[in-house]
Amino acid sequence: MNEALTIDGLTVDFGGFKAVDGFTTVVQKGELRVILGPNGAGKTTLMDLVSGKTASTQGTVHLFGENITNRPEHIIARHGIGRKFQIPSVFRDLTVRQNLEVAASGEPGVFRNLRLHMAAEDRARVEDVIALTRLEPVLGTIAGELSHGQMQWLELGMLITQQAKVILLDEPTAGMTHAETFRTAEIINEMKGSHTILVVEHDMAFVRKIAERITVMHMGKLLAEGPMEKIETDPKVREAYLGSGGIH
C-alpha cells in the first residue's frame, strides 16, 4: 500500500461558508508534501478536518486504506496521524524529558499505564529523538521555559516519538529566527523518507529547502499541484497570490 493519506472531496460548511470545499489529494507513503495558499485559504482548517478537531460535512479521509473520517481525535491519533499546531503546543509544566516520555507511550489505556517504568523500546525511541532534536542540554527544563525554537523542536520530537505515520505540520517555522528556521529544515529533511509529512508553510525560502511536491489551496479548493518549478510558473497560482500580496 503506497497511498498514505487519501483525502476525497473533503468539505466543511460553517453555516454557508465553505472553508474547505471539495478538496481532494493523495499523499504517498514517505512523501513530503507542502501546502501553500494565501491567508484564509483553508490550510489550517484542512488539518483540523484530517485530525478530527473539526467534523467535516462531506467527503472522506483514509489513512493507509482505513476510513478515519470524523473519528474522535485520540482515535485518529492512534491510527497514526500526528499533528503540530500553529501555536506551539507542549506540556508546559512538565520537563522536556517528561514531554517526550508522555509521547512515547505505546499504550494509550489508563490501566496499562499503571506501572512505573517505560518499555525498553519506548525509552530507546526517546533517546533517538533527543539526539535528533539536540534537546539534551535542556532535558530537565520545564517546557514552558524553553525558547520559541526549542519548543517547536520539542513538539516535532514528540510527533516522532509518538511514531506518527503521517505528520501534519502547521507553519513549523512561524516566528523563528533565521538560524532556528535552518535547523528546523534540517530536522524535517532528516525525517523525510521515514515519515510521511504534510506541511503548511509561508516562508518560501524554507519551502524551497524542503519541498518535493506542492499543493496550492485557494478559497478552500485545490488550485494546483505539482513540483516547485511548475507551481511557480502557474498563472492561476500567480493570480491567486496577486489578490493577497503575492507569493512571499
Partner 1 sequence: MSIEDTSTPTSSSSRLQRYADWAVYAVFIVIILGAPMVIDDVFWLNRISKYLVFGMLGIAIALSWGYAGILNLGQGLFFGLGAYMTAMSLKLMSATSLQQGSDKPVPDFMLWNAEPGAVTDLCCINKGSFLWIPFQSQWFGMAMSIVIPLIVAFVLSSSIFRLRVSGVYVAIITLALVLLVRLLLIDAQPITNGFNGLTDLGWLTIGGFEFDPYMVETYYVVAISLTVVLLLGRWLVSTRAGLILQSTRDDPTRARYLGYDVAAYQIFFFTISAGIAGFAGLLYVVAAEFASPSFMDIGFSISMVVWAAVGGRNSLIGACIGAILINTVEATVSETEIFKEAWKLIIGGVFVLVVLYMPNGLAGIARDLLARFERRRKGAPAETAPKAAE
Taking the alpha carbons of 199, 122, 143, 180 in that order, is the dihedral positive or negative? negative
Contact between 40 and ligand ATP (CB under 6 A)? yes
- Which grid cell is 9? 472531496
Binding mask 8-27 toward ligand ATP (x if CB under 6 A, else -) reads ------x--x-x--------
49/61 Cα distance (integer angstroms): 9
Binding mask 7-36 toward partner 1 (x if CB under 8 A, else -) reads ------------------------------
DSSP letters for 73-121: HHHHHHHTEEEE-SS----TTSBHHHHHHHHH-S---TGGG-SSS--HH
Nearer of residues 140 and 245 to partner 1, judged by Cβ: 140
Backbone angles phi, psi at 33, to 5 degrees: -110, 130
For 10, 23, 157, 166, the CA distances from 59, given in Å and listed in that order, are 4, 8, 31, 19
* 153: nearest Cα among 53, 230, 84, 247: 84
153/147 Cα distance (integer angstroms): 10
Contact between 44 and Mg ion (CB under 5 A)? yes
Select the binding partner of residue 210 from ligand ATP, partner 1, Mg ion, none (C-beta < 5 to 8 A, by kind). Answer: none
Select the binding partner of residue 224 from ligand ATP, Mg ion, partner 1, none (C-beta < 5 to 8 A, by kind). Answer: none
Backbone angles phi, psi at 102, to 5 degrees: -65, -40
| Closest distance to ligand ATP from the beta carbon of 76 (Å) | 18
Q: Contacting ligand ATP (CB under 6 A), which of 45, 99, 173, 196? A: 45
Nearer of residues 109 and 246 to partner 1, judged by Cβ: 109
Select the binding partner of residue 92 from partner 1, ligand ATP, Mg ion, none (C-beta < 5 to 8 A, by kind). Answer: partner 1
Contact between 132 and partner 1 (CB under 8 A)? no
Backbone angles phi, psi at 186, to 5 degrees: -60, -45
Contact between 82 and partner 1 (CB under 8 A)? yes
Cell 511536491 found at = 213
Nearer of residues 31 and 48 to ligand ATP, judged by Cβ: 48
59/42 Cα distance (integer angstroms): 15
Select the binding partner of residue 39 from ligand ATP, Mg ion, partner 1, none (C-beta < 5 to 8 A, by kind). Answer: ligand ATP
**Span near ligand ATP by CB under 6 A; candidates 2-10, 40-48, 103-111, 189-197:** 40-48
Select the binding partner of residue 204 from ligand ATP, partner 1, Mg ion, none (C-beta < 5 to 8 A, by kind). Answer: none
Contact between 168 and ligand ATP (CB under 6 A)? no
